A and B are shown apart, each in its own frame.
Chain A
Amino acid sequence: MKIRLKVIFFLFAFVFAVKAQDRLSIQLDFANNLFNNKQFYDAITEYKRFQFFDSTKTFNYEINYKIGECYKAGAKYDDAVKFFSLAELNARTDDELFDSKTQIIRTNILRRTSDRALQLCNELEKDQRFSGKRDQINYWRGWAYIFADKWDEAAKSFTRINSNHELKKLAEQTEKAKVSVTFAKVISYILPGAGAIYTGKFLSGLMSLGWNLLSGYWTINSFVENRVFDGVVIAELVWLRFYRGAIQNAEEFAQEKNLEVSNKSLRYLQNEYKGIRP
């Protein structure tokens, strides 16, 4: 009789435990559902609620990882890094550790702390546990270089994965489409306006050349007519102003052009690239 009672008590206790666990499972499913429907704010709340009530802490890695993803999707990058770091601390396998670390790298890329992302890539590469994941590390390193606007370095990183890698080609094309800021300035020293023409600003370049020719003529003409002081003042106030302006313009135009080229490639990556993005 006593044994029967104990068995009943045991079954009751077991059922109670299973029921409570069921509620938590439902809660987790609910949170996952919100996450899948991209309702990230609510998903964070429900993941946190699950985490608070689940005293077994079995899902600590998964929950922190998901919360990190939600914050990342909501562009709350600092919070995202915090939760990915918590996931990293709760990782049970090398794969989980690697995933959480790469998420931290990806978040760093997105928040434009490229140096930190590169530093983390280097640390991962040195870690022997991840020697089989070199391609992934190089992939994210390439992305970090892209966001740091170092397309040539990005191309090198993608080459290490595959010499025909789509992103390698894109990075090379972008680098090729860029203009040299130094070259634009140097040719403007030699022929004012040439730098602007080199960057594709033909009208501005020709105008600049015209102003320089006119002010140069006035300066020389003043000296020819023995009005030396006039010549000096016109040279200083007018000619030199246009001459320096042409050089400064060349530099600005070249920088603008490079920014346009980079932005075009970034837009492609954002809207059309099918591979994994940060």
Chain B
Amino acid sequence: MLRTKITNRLLIVILLIIVPPTTINCQLATDGNILSFQNRLRFGNYLYYEKDYLRAADEFKEYLRSESNDTIVFRLANSYFQIGRYTEAANNFKGLFFGSQLSEEARLMFYESVFFQNDYKLFRVLAEEQNFGSSIYSKDIERLKYISYFLDNSRLPEENLVLKSFPDSVQSRLLNFYQQKKFPKYKSITTSVILSTLIPGAGKIYTGEVGDGITSLIATALTTYLAITNFKADHQFRGWMFSGLAAFFYAGNIYGSAASAQIYNARIQFNFDNEVRLFFEHRNYFLPKIDY
């Protein structure tokens, strides 16, 4: 009797040791099928937290074929957002606008998705849309709308309207951007061309290319001088050659001045765009961080 008891207990102990292998694969959900919808969801979530958004999106899409889940739709949309597929992100966020607990966040993220498509005109049209508006994040969306004015060629709204949406700490910086955008310090192409026609190189000096301007002046003057002296010394070929060179330098100086003014203006625009973009990027466009 005692022996049987000991044997039984021993068996139980052995079972307790051996049975855990059934739970070795505890990652598998109850049905044990790796590709079941629940397991796809778990795997998708794992990929999502690992920031492998492209694969996570595929898993979420598969899972959503089985059942509807707002959080997963949000994650699917956010996965697309993270990998820069903004159109798909916007479409998926739109699906959460009505009857979802994540409606407010989805609306904000929808606007972000449209904003990052770089179609700022469309963004502003949508920002005015009452049906899409968010009650919690309306200020963030409005701020994003004013930021969009700095990023394209549209006419800026009133200074006060723009500035009041931003925190005090950046007011002076934004005012500076506003002034630069409204009154860019461009150089006139016509003035540059006229100056170079009168004095070779003057147009370039006007656009800030002092070295190039002086070189232009010297090259034109010297080749003209050489042409004259060679004609005087009866070297016809050299005379004509240096005349041609002088004409070339003179014409080139006028064309170069126009180009220089254009380049100057493009540089001003490029630097401004870069500076503004960096400023907003550095502050995440003043957007709250949302993740589920």
Contact = CB atoms under 8 A, between A and B. Distances in A.
Interface stretch (A18-26, A101-109, A260-268): A18-26
Interface string B221-233: 0110110011001
A53 B27 contact: yes
A228 to B, nearest CB: 11
Contact of B58 (A45, A53, A225): A45
A53 B24 CA distance: 10
B43 A52 contact: yes
B24 A17 contact: yes
A13 B21 contact: yes
B229 A227 contact: yes
A20 B32 contact: yes
Given A55-B26, A233-B222, A49 B21 contact: no
B34 A27 contact: yes
B249 to A, nearest CB: 11
Given A2-B8, A17-B24, A24-B34, A10 B226 contact: no
B28 A23 contact: yes
Nearest to A18: B21
Nearest to B238: A218
Contacts of B22: 13-14, 16-17, 20
A123 B53 CA distance: 36
B88 interface: no
Interface of chain A, main secondary structure:
helix
A23 B32 CA distance: 8
B233 A227 contact: yes
B47 A48 contact: yes
Contact of A48 (B25, B28, B33, B52): B52
Contacts of A125: none
A234 B226 contact: yes
Given A14-B18, A17-B21, A49 B11 contact: no
Interface string B40-55: 0011001100001001
Given A10-B19, A49-B43, A3 B11 contact: yes
Given A17-B21, A20-B22, 8 more contacts: A14-B21, A17-B22, A20-B25, A44-B55, A45-B58, A53-B28, A53-B39, A230-B226
Interface of B: 7-8, 11-12, 15, 18-19, 21-22, 24-28, 32-34, 39, 42-43, 46-47, 52, 55, 58, 219, 222-223, 225-226, 229-230, 233, 238
